[in-house]
């Protein structure tokens, strides 16, 4: 592993993590973590360096460590001493907002609740802007809910630190097409304003019970 990023202080012994079921690389699943004899529910993202570069793993860990806010899904630790590597995050009992909106319960939500969801997401995105980060993949599938219907933004795999108020897209770099502002493709860069465009698409998802944007086009 590269030595440019220290993971001291957040390394978790593998024996302290119990997966609910076997997960393939790239998957997110439920698990339990031992906290001094008391087991608590967590989520884990599985990484296999043979399929995904270790640098990408370390980059996401670095970004998560730099973002500490109650409207962002928080990093609890990592497992790096054996394969597959794991990113361990807090457990959000109601899962992602997209699935919730499409459920029977989600279809019954009143407008005032949807507006509150949007407000909570704005809080998290404003914090990211203050810290000079762009999320680059804000969508309902990447917002997660607690039992109390508290929203937290997650999945920072595409998030990046801004350099001079913009992030230049690298060649062949992944982009969330349907949630990405048109100027991003022209200028080959992301800014906080492009996250605002994504938020607008997110609002459309809220009021349509989780429908994907641009119906009829292949989902990204």
Rounded percentage of the chain residues whose pLDDT exceeds 90: 69
Q: Cα–Cα distance between 112 and 206 in angstroms, integer?
A: 11
Query: Which of 3-17, 39-53, 201-215 is least confident?
Result: 3-17
29 to 46, 55, 59, 206, 216: CA distances (angstroms)? 8, 22, 21, 24, 30
- List the one residue out of 26, 63, 60 whose CA is nearest residue 44: 26
Position 3 scores a pLDDT of: 38
Q: Is the model's pLDDT at 85 over the cut of 90?
A: no
Rounded percentage of the chain residues whose pLDDT exceeds 70: 91
Q: Residue 17: pLDDT band by 50, 70, 90 thresholds? A: very high
170 to 72, 189, 194: CA distances (angstroms)? 26, 9, 16
Position 123 scores a pLDDT of: 98
- List the one residue out of 153, 57, 150, 43 whose CA is nearest residue 91: 43
Instruction: Identify whether the C-beta of residue 43 lies closer than 8 Å to the C-beta of residue 31.
Output: yes
3-class DSSP assignment, residue 199: helix
Q: Cα–Cα distance between 163 and 154 in angstroms, integer?
A: 22
| pLDDT tens, position by position, 173-219 | 889 999 999 999 999 999 999 999 999 999 999 999 999 998 766 65
Beta bridge partners of 42: 31, 90
Q: Cα–Cα distance between 204 and 140 in angstroms, integer?
A: 10
The residue-averaged pLDDT of 142-164 equals 95
The residue-averaged pLDDT of 34-51 equals 84
Position 58 scores a pLDDT of: 85
Q: Is the model's pLDDT at 6 over the cut of 60?
A: no
| pLDDT tens, position by position, 129-147 | 999 999 999 999 999 999 9
The residue-averaged pLDDT of 111-129 equals 98
Going along the chain from its start, the domains and CATH numbers come out as 14-90 (3.30.200.20), 95-207 (1.10.510.10)
Q: Cα–Cα distance between 140 and 126 in angstroms, integer?
A: 17
Question: Which residues are annotated as catalytic?
Answer: 137
**DSSP alpha helix (H) spans, the chain:** 54-66, 97-102, 104-107, 111-130, 182-187, 192-207
Q: Cα–Cα distance between 41 and 39 in angstroms, integer?
A: 7
CB burial class (10 A; 0-12, 13-18, 19+) of residue 140? buried
Mean residue pLDDT across the chain: 89
């Amino acid at each position: 592993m590269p030595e440019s990023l220290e993971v001291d202080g957040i390394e978790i012994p593998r024996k302290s993590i119990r997966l609910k079921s076997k997960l393939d690389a790239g998957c997110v699943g439920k698990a339990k973590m031992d906290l001094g004899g008391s087991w608590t529910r967590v989520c884990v993202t599985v990484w296999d360096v043979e399929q995904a570069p270790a640098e990408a793993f370390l980059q996401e860990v670095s970004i998560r460590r730099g973002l500490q806010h109650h409207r962002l899904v928080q990093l609890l630790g990592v497992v790096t001493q054996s394969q597959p590597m794991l990113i361990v995050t807090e457990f959000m009992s109601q899962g992602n907002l997209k699935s919730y909106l499409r459920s029977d319960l989600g279809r019954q939500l009143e407008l005032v609740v949807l507006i509150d969801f949007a407000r909570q997401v704005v809080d998290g995105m404003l914090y990211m802007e203050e810290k000079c980060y762009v999320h680059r993949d804000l969508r309902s599938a990447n917002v997660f809910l607690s039992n109390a219907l508290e929203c937290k933004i997650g999945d920072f795999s595409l998030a990046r630190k801004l350099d001079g108020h913009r992030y230049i897209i690298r060649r062949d770099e992944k982009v969330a097409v349907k949630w990405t502002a048109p100027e991003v493709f022209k200028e080959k860069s992301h800014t906080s304003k492009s996250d605002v465009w994504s938020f607008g698409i997110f609002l459309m998802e809220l009021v349509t019970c989780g429908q994907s944007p641009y119906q009829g086009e292949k989902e990204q």
